[in-house]
């Protein structure tokens, strides 16, 4: 099974999605399953994981409703404020939703210390006890704090979204690799090869610009701990779905058939327990 392990849906609202700035004007419209499904079919992708794009409980409910109506939406990474005192009650309301696989907060917009608060770490532990994964959305400068979080939750499955957004446009990889490397030594930490085109020059990027970062990810995590994700529709500010997929497929030509199966679906099935 070929899986896109990272994409988004939304009914656009300028206030709720204020992170979509003027440079991303192409994203200022609705993106729904009927928009994505033909693309997945054309790309021979069997299913996807819908990841939160808004920090609100209604986002989790919205994505779960879509997943119920569309079987090819294999799972949902929802949103909940992990530090809240009533987190157990919030999680209880979704206890019967088998497609709720994990959670994510937009940590990239917060100070590194945010994820090291005892209330936040307590929330991560509660996710783990219920079998939920956690998607880490960070910038490279937040990786040291993220590593402390991972070490404080040794039994939790984490996945690093977008390889922590290295500055591909500037060609900066040495400090990023140094900060990313320790995560590869934690066996419950995985990484998504997703969202890379939006960290490159949107108008001038070439596949060769992304390959060094993909090589490092492969070196550190191996194909059995890497998940392909398109980051659709956000990727469209820099490239169409087929271009994003094409880069990863071209890079993966060096892999064996079994390793390709892991990168393009097997690892996602294992990590998210699909």
Residue pLDDT, tens place only, 4-57: 999 999 999 988 988 899 889 899 999 999 999 999 999 999 999 999 999 999
- Report the CATH number at residue 219: 3.20.20.140
Average pLDDT of the chain is 96
- pTM metric for this prediction: 0.95
Using the predicted structure, report yes or no on whether residue 220 has a pLDDT greater than 90: yes
For the CA atoms of 71, 94, 101, 114, the dihedral, rounded to the nearest 10 degrees, stands at 140
Give the domain range for residue 23.
3-272
Nearest CA to 53 among 30, 35, 69, 73? 30
- How far is residue 32 from each of residues 37, 63, 69, 190, measured CA to CA in Å? 9, 10, 12, 27
pLDDT in tens, 146-160: 999 999 999 999 999
Residue 82, pLDDT score = 96
Listing from the earlier edge strand, what are the strands of the sheet with 73-78? 3-7, 47-51, 73-78, 100-105, 133-136, 158-160, 189-193, 226-228
Q: How many domains does the chain have?
A: 1
């Amino acid at each position: 099974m070929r899986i896109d392990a990272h994409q988004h849906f939304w009914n656009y609202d300028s206030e709720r999605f204020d992170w979509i700035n003027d440079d991303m004007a192409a994203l200022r419209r609705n993106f729904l399953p009927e928009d994505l499904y033909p693309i997945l079919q054309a790309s021979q992708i069997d299913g996807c994981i819908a990841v939160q794009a808004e920090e609100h409980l209604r986002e989790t409910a919205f994505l779960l409703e879509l997943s119920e109506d569309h079987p090819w939406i294999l799972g949902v990474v929802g949103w909940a404020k992990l530090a809240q005192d009533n987190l157990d009650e919030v999680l209880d309301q979704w206890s019967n939703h088998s497609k709720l696989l994990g959670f994510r907060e937009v940590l990239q917009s917060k100070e590194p210390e945010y994820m090291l608060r005892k209330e936040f770490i307590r929330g991560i532990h509660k996710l783990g006890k219920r079998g939920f994964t956690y998607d880490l959305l960070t910038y490279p400068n937040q990786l040291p704090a993220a590593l402390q979080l991972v070490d404080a939750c040794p039994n939790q499955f984490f996945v690093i979204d977008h390889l922590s957004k290295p500055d591909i446009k500037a060609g900066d990889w040495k400090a990023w690799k140094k900060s990313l490397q320790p995560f590869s030594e934690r066996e419950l930490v995985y990484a998504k090869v997703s969202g890379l085109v939006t960290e490159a020059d949107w108008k001038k990027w070439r596949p060769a610009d992304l390959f060094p970062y993909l090589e490092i990810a492969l070196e550190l995590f191996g194909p059995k701990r890497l998940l392909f994700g398109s980051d659709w529709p956000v990727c469209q500010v820099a490239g169409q779905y087929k271009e994003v997929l094409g880069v990863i497929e071209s890079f993966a030509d060096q892999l064996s058939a079994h390793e390709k199966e892991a990168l393009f679906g097997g690892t996602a099935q294992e990590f998210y327990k699909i």
